[in-house]
Structure 1
Amino acid sequence: MKPTRFETAIALIDKANSEDVNTYSVSGVDYPKELLYSQRMTRKLLQFEPNASKALQIAARAQHICRWKIARDEYPMDRVGYLKWRETLKKMHAELTTEILNLVGYDKQFTDRITLLISKKGIKKNEESQALEDTVCLVFLDYYFEEFAAKHDDEKVIDILKKTWAKMSDRGHEAALKLNFSDKSLSLIKQAIA
Structure 2
Amino acid sequence: MAAYPRVELEEMVERWLEANRQAENDGNWPKHLGAMYTDNAEYRWNIGPNEEFVARNRKQIEEWALGAQMKGFEEWKYPYHRILIDEKQGEVIGLWTQVSPAKRDDGTHYMVEGTGGSWFRYGGDYKWEWQRDFFDLGNTKALFFELAAAGKLDPAVKEKIGKLAKGHPLPGHEKIRPEASLLQKIKGFLVMIRIAIFNK
**Same-fold call, TM cutoff 0.5:** no
Bigger radius of gyration:
2
**Higher RCO (CA 8 Å, separation ≥ 6 residues):** 2
Q: Which structure shows the higher strand fraction?
A: 2
More helix by share: 1
TM-score after normalising by structure 2: 0.27
TM-score by length of 1: 0.28
